Structure 1
Amino acid sequence: MTILVTGGAGFIGTHLTKRLLDEGHIVLAVDNFCSNYDPELKRRNVANFKNQPGYYLFEGDIRESHFLHLLFGTYPVDAVIHLAGLAGVRPSLQKPAAYFDTNVTGTVTLLQTMQDFKVDKMVFASSSSVYGERNETPFRESDLIEGLASPYAISKRTGEMVIQNAHQLYGLNAYCLRFFTVYGPNQRPDMAISSFIRRLFAGERIQLFGTGQSVRDYTYVNDIVAGIVRAVERVSGFEIINLGSGRPIALIDLVRHLEYFTGRKARIEYRPDQLGDVSRTFADLSKAAQLLGYQPRVLLEEGLQRMVNGFQAEQTFLLEEK
């Protein structure tokens, strides 16, 4: 299968690309290498793929219709895995217009191009953020969505809605996958676990918002990738599906785990609750198990150990390069 992966140079995108290539698929990776974090990190992510058979990298923006039409007109695309977009709850509070432009306008432009070229299979990266603040757990796909807490969450929910509309109007087959706090090697440097590991080894303070009792359903990237691959193989009709670990943990307990794996004591600075954040996430995985055969396999302790090992290996490599 020839699969177009938007956001193909990002954290999840590069892990996904490796899996797709290993399974014999052709990957058309699209990324605009924007500066929301260091573009050189993304270029390093894709460096190992450049000489692999079946891999093609295109630098361009999904909001540009001409770019997409040229790409779809040149290569026979069987399915699209749409990961591209601005990520992060807190940054979206500062620049909501950019989030709606990229995450909504970009998705609409991509959907229009797919319709023009009669490509009828999409897997979309949504987010647990769409559930907003709620007390009842675990979060189920059938839950009423209201009270979204950030522009990022609204942009992702809007993406789901325009994709559902394309299904209703044009017969698009689409699965919207709600990711629950994805972590693993090469995670974006602004995300909590990457930041905590870096700060622990540097002896810098770690900022925890609130009391440290906020709860997240952390999901290892290999499990997310397995769910995405199964989704693109099985996509039919329209569905919203959670992908998580189903094992939520409090933020302060996460820090204690990282102290153990790094051998460093955290210097914690408590800050007021952050606007846009929610107190908990917790994925119900029964629908993912039923439709995708999805079962997360990497326990948090194992995943954190892999991240710490990866960070140490990277630091050793950088020292040797100097």
Structure 2
Amino acid sequence: MTDTTATTPPITSDEITRARAIVERVTSAFAAKVVGQIGLRDSLLVALITGGHVLLESVPGLAKTTAAQTLAQAVDASFRRIQCTPDLLPSDITGTQIYDAKAATFVTQLGPVHSNFVLLDEINRSSAKTQSAMLEAMQERQTSIGGTVYRLPQPFLVLATQNPIEQEGTYQLPEAQLDRFLLKEVLDYPSPAEEAEIIRRIEAGVYEPEQPGAARSTGVHLDDVRLLQDLAKRVYIDQSIVNYIVQIIYVTRHPGEYIAGTLADYIQFGASPRASIAFTQAARALALLNGRDYVIPDDVKHLRHGVLRHRLILGYEAAADEVRPETIIDAVFAAVQTP
């Protein structure tokens, strides 16, 4: 019987060196404008390399827009920001057809989602109908306008934000949509030293709009991003680590058999197979960002909160007892032996 299993060539040392140089230029450009937020930077890069999306929860003023815009500029990508409101229509995001009286015909006008980087600010303020329009864009990488399908540019990354403080006039994101985000990050306030540095940079004019025609400093383009995406697919992941990931997800579905105490009772539903896929893809990307052509267990552990915090469905008791998802995730990982 013929073996039809597809094999990919191993990553060469020259390719690793080139990938490392690209990552270093991008991270330097990010650090030049964004103070701290290393976790956000890594999550955005992992999502960009894997073709995933990031859900971000934080209070206002923590440089979410600056971070996304800076990363887009660093890789020479298009960037659009969409402020979500209850009256936002799907056509405001995807685009619509406008009647041209001179030509006596309809002309398609593409919406802001047709960009490489899309920031959906306060996504939970948009209605369910508008959120469903984003599902097609995020999952199928296309929009439908007037019966015609329009492909989105590649690479394509959605950074959606939620404000955890003000919940009036918001729509809770359904689990099916939450599951389509590769990672969920929760940002905290900067340290006093970081906040002082932010003020210093504002005074120095770091955040002033760049002059038209100003020379770019990174030298990174979208072709370099596509190279990283291709290399990430070739990063080696051992079967033992795949089994490790699958076992972790299995424990989230059967917590009573593995987690001692009352923590298991807080989990109402475990993670779907998308979590296993997300761990595999994100671990490969993180290994590449760290200059390796192979995945280690620490890559999976490093991503545990970002991958699982929005995929574990907790009961009301968890909220009543103020049990954080990260506590339960740590207990799940503690119950599985590291390979």
TM over 0.5: no
Structure with greater contact order relative to length (CA < 8 Å, sep ≥ 6): 2
**Structure 1 length as normaliser, TM-score?**
0.30
**Structure 2 length as normaliser, TM-score?**
0.29
Q: For the pair shown, which has the larger CA radius of gyration, 1 or 2?
A: 2
